[in-house]
Structure 1
């Protein structure tokens, strides 16, 4: 193996290793999820369809142009298309033409169709952006869940390290006759319980990693991981706002509200299109045609046979044009036009009701998010106080245990209460962070962790 090949293989191996050891940040996860989500791709295809509909609507305002070409041969009795005389022979004929038509007035339906296509394009963009917002929240929740599980695992490992020290100390006290053998067994049972909690926590970390990887459409679960950062509760001014202020701001930019509003605009255009069918339709047309025949004829003056003109000459001699206008007046169509108008009016009213419902749902969600943040904040503060109290109680119990004034069972219970309190601090902290980010998201702030 030559030197260049060895260097190339080494670089490939290093690149592969660095890719496998990549630690994803929240911003990277959100961006990747938005770009690779299958539903997003489907909505993007719907947006492409909307753009095609807009092109169709624009084409409806332009004149149509079509051309025809035909050739045929006839044997026996037939009519010469250039003279309209019957002939009994084999005749070769050709014809061609160009036709153009333009709708001059159709109750402005083509104009409304173009406006509707533009609105439908915007509606699909709002729907796509709303989906991306939902994905961002889902990714943030899954991301913070991984961090919470990792922090919980660290807590149990730290407590296990403390328990190992207590176990070592207890063995010495038992050997010295200060403590009975039962106390050693109790500490060993506590250590075994912590080992089980560590295993369960490791499983929770793995499951949460798999959940986020699936959300990102990543199949390499084993090598997927997020950045090991211990986030603190970030300062936020959003709690200085009332739910009504947050709702008033959210209505102005939320994509789900914009989507509902665009559905009303679409329904209005559909109503205009339905009403346009009540008006007459005026159209214009223009047609150019020419023909060719290989048959000659007799000159009416001399009586001599005249051979057929050349192909090019006949195209000029036999050409002609026609043009005109056509007016269609709707009189009675079995109530279909009136019924379509009524259906469009009903659709418009339903769209208006849906907008009000979406606003009500948004206000409810913001109020719930506001209450959740307040509750999560109080729960986090209470967990911190509980942990502080449990830790002081544990330190006091440890001192009593080491001098033989407390049995191993009571000491292990004090340690278990510390473990539970520490785990609860981690859980409430990340729950508070997520609730806070949700409320900020409703207020228009981006999802970021610093």
Structure 2
């Protein structure tokens, strides 16, 4: 009883949402929305943007650098007076300014290799994004087909329920007329009630499958979400005519698993070139311009007009005085700011050469690691091709098996339908009891369900093969 109440609530919720929905989504709309809103796709787009920035960094390594510097400092404390030579507590201020520029002239082709690697990394990031889109397409298609299957299953159950309802009315009339025992109508009533439960369960399955698809799309509000009901004809098996080898040949050119593996190998080989370039000398050019100024007063010296000379000694023997100019010193106001900058500036320029000789085997070890990484990526590339081939052959065999199952289900349904019609004729004339007739009807219903299930399974496996050939999402039609 609890299950019946839960199913009833789910069905009422579905019916309410169905009544208010304004749009039915096609497969292409579902795929487009999933690609635009999927978190993994957004992260892949971020990775592409980061790879673009790495490329800009690599380009920037070819451009000369330009940097400016400025400093202004105050020193307070016991320092020597530059005029009197006496230690005294004072505050001095000094500032300096500079502009420097440098460029790498040669680094063992390292900058060129890094630029090439950055371009290859962008391509690898794009391949990863494309592979994610393929995986999302497959998940969306599978969930989309699951919703369609549940809808078709509900239609079949409702059609069969209508047949059972008419049968119940007919049986009730025969029982009332005394042609059939009362047990027959009870048997049909039990079948009718069981079909009602199956219909409720089928309606609930539709709701659940719609929610599952909405979650894959990252829909926040999926109460009114539903999909369009395309007319699915018998599956077209043209893809099987290509054979497993033909599908694999197309997949090696179009599938992103192989492209990603090949690109990773190319990146590893580029890393090896970069590691080897570290063994080469690095030649840089530089030019610097510097100047300074101070807040201290200027040091002035002048001849004392009142006492222009001063004795510094006496000549031995003659006692003649030795004199020298008598200069006095003072500290005046600081020179103008720009005058100091102009007087104190200077330029330095030159070349610097760095030759790696020994760095604790770091360069050698990096080269060895890069070689091992190349070998590892080559193995991964081989493994990716083997996995792809195995997956294609497995998918091809699964599709072949699904086709046989679908064809067998078609034959089984035709046979069960004839058996049901024959049983109905016998039941109508009283040659078959209700229990045996219900068994024939149940077998016919099961044959219909098996055909529907095998049909959708066959369609999905055909679409998997189509994706292996590199079909575009917009070309994946149902």
TM-score, L = length of structure 2: 0.85
Say whether the 8 Å CA contact 1:99–1:287 is kept in structure 2. Answer: yes
Give the SS at the match of 2:450: helix
Matched, 1:421 2:423: no
Give the SS at the match of 1:241: helix
The equivalent of 1:135 in structure 2 is 136
Separation (CA, whole Å) in 1 of partners of 2:228 and 2:81: 88
Separation (CA, whole Å) in 2 of partners of 1:136 and 1:218: 16
Say whether the 8 Å CA contact 2:18–2:224 is kept in structure 1. Answer: no
Render the CA deviation track for 1:192-232: whole Å, top value 9, x for unaligned: 22112212211221111111011011233431111123312
Shift of 1:281: 1.4
Shift of 1:254: 1.2
Larger mean Cα displacement after TM superposition, 197-206 or 140-149: 197-206
The equivalent of 1:353 in structure 2 is 379
Matched, 1:314 2:340: yes
Shift of 1:20: 3.0
Shift of 1:37: 0.8
Matched, 1:106 2:107: yes
Q: What does 1:318-337 align with in structure 2 at a 5 Å threshold?
A: 318-337=344-363
Say whether the 8 Å CA contact 2:34–2:218 is kept in structure 1. Answer: yes
Q: What does 1:95-244 align with in structure 2 at a 5 Å threshold?
A: 95-244=96-245
The equivalent of 2:279 in structure 1 is 278
Matched, 1:438 2:444: no
Shift of 1:385: 1.1
Render the CA deviation track for 1:316-339: whole Å, top value 9, x for unaligned: 221110011111111111111111
Give the SS at the match of 1:220: coil
Larger mean Cα displacement after TM superposition, 50-59 or 231-240: 231-240
The equivalent of 2:13 in structure 1 is none
Matched, 1:373 2:373: no
How many equivalent pairs are there? 432
Say whether the 8 Å CA contact 1:127–1:259 is kept in structure 2. Answer: yes
Give the SS at the match of 1:406: coil
| Structure 1 residues 257 and 341, CA gap change in structure 2 (3 angstroms) | same
Say whether the 8 Å CA contact 2:247–2:468 is kept in structure 1. Answer: yes
Which one of the candidate residues 335, 338, 354 is aligned to 2:364?
338
Shift of 1:94: 2.0
The equivalent of 1:27 in structure 2 is 28
Q: Unaligned 5+ residue runs, structure 2?
A: 1-16, 304-324
Shift of 1:396: 0.7
Shift of 1:286: 0.7
Separation (CA, whole Å) in 2 of partners of 1:121 and 1:378: 45
Task: Indicate the structure (1 or 2) with the bigger Cα radius of gyration.
Answer: 2
Separation (CA, whole Å) in 2 of partners of 1:255 and 1:93: 63
State the Cα RMSD in Å.
2.4
The equivalent of 1:293 in structure 2 is 294
Separation (CA, whole Å) in 1 of partners of 2:267 and 2:246: 29
Separation (CA, whole Å) in 1 of partners of 2:347 and 2:20: 72
Separation (CA, whole Å) in 2 of partners of 1:257 and 1:19: 46
| Structure 1 residues 224 and 79, CA gap change in structure 2 (3 angstroms) | farther
The equivalent of 2:255 in structure 1 is 254
| Structure 1 residues 269 and 261, CA gap change in structure 2 (3 angstroms) | same
Give the SS at the match of 2:220: coil
Q: Unaligned 5+ residue runs, structure 1?
A: 1-15
Say whether the 8 Å CA contact 2:282–2:353 is kept in structure 1. Answer: yes
Render the CA deviation track for 1:335-371: whole Å, top value 9, x for unaligned: 1111111111111111111111111111111111211
Matched, 1:407 2:442: no
Give the SS at the match of 2:142: helix
| Structure 1 residues 382 and 110, CA gap change in structure 2 (3 angstroms) | same
Shift of 1:300: 8.4
Say whether the 8 Å CA contact 2:124–2:263 is kept in structure 1. Answer: yes
The equivalent of 1:11 in structure 2 is none
| Structure 1 residues 108 and 403, CA gap change in structure 2 (3 angstroms) | same
Q: What does 1:32-111 align with in structure 2 at a 5 Å threshold?
A: 32-74=33-75, 77=79, 90-111=91-112
Separation (CA, whole Å) in 2 of partners of 1:86 and 1:203: 99
Shift of 1:444: 2.2
Give the SS at the match of 1:242: helix
Separation (CA, whole Å) in 2 of partners of 1:19 and 1:217: 21
Render the CA deviation track for 1:130-154: whole Å, top value 9, x for unaligned: 0110000000000001101110111
TM-score, L = length of structure 1: 0.90
The equivalent of 2:477 in structure 1 is 449
Say whether the 8 Å CA contact 1:231–1:449 is kept in structure 2. Answer: no
